[in-house]
Chain A
């Protein structure tokens, strides 16, 4: 039972254009969402997060949008750069008891930014 889904395994975008990565979740207890970027042979790197009390969070070229009613979030990268080429993971967190807030990850979307 996949609680966090990234339905697009891959995405190709021209340099300078917008990249939109999507993520859906099913668990209503999730109240905090994160995006991580991962290069081969490295650990995931935290990019941006959003709390369920907000619907948008922006950090430079990265913006995350949250639609709670649809249980959907998206990451927008504008403008896309070749260095953004990586696998992007969506993750969700909520209190799963005893104060534990482990992350549930999607399977990732491989973004390729074409020069």
Chain B
């Protein structure tokens, strides 16, 4: 158990709909990252938040958005869903990057499996 929780575990919806995925980071972690894993693809970085502020964006579609709340949990909003959005969505968390190493290990949640019909 990584300490990162994600809800829901599974989500089935229809094209054109909007869904919200939720993530709670490990206790003490300030950074939250969202990744998408499609069939036959590795994990693709979507977006990062650090202590409530957006820190970096990756391959995130304009139809997708995210936010991190004062209690540090994060939500990923997916709208105008298309069949191709069906994927596993993972959240990861880490402490703030250290000054010396400049990078830290990310710990992943169990993921949300989204199926768009």
A112 to chain B, nearest CB (A): 18
Q: Cα distance A99–B49 when bound, in Å? A: 11
Which A residues touch B102, using CB under 8 A? Answer: 31-32, 95, 101
Given A89-B42, A96-B56, CB of A31 within 8 Å of CB of B103: yes
Q: Cα distance A99–B50 when bound, in Å? A: 10
Total contacting residues, chain B, CB less than 8 A? 31
Q: Is B104 an interface residue (CB 8 A)?
A: yes
Which B residues touch A93, using CB under 8 A? Answer: 103
Q: Cα distance A93–B94 when bound, in Å? A: 13
Given A34-B105, A36-B108, A96-B56, CB of A104 within 8 Å of CB of B97: no
Determine which of B4, B58, B97 lies in contact with A43 in the assembled complex, contact meaning CB atoms within 8 Å.
B4
Residue on A nearest B108 in the bound complex, by CB: A43
Which A residues touch B109, using CB under 8 A? Answer: 43
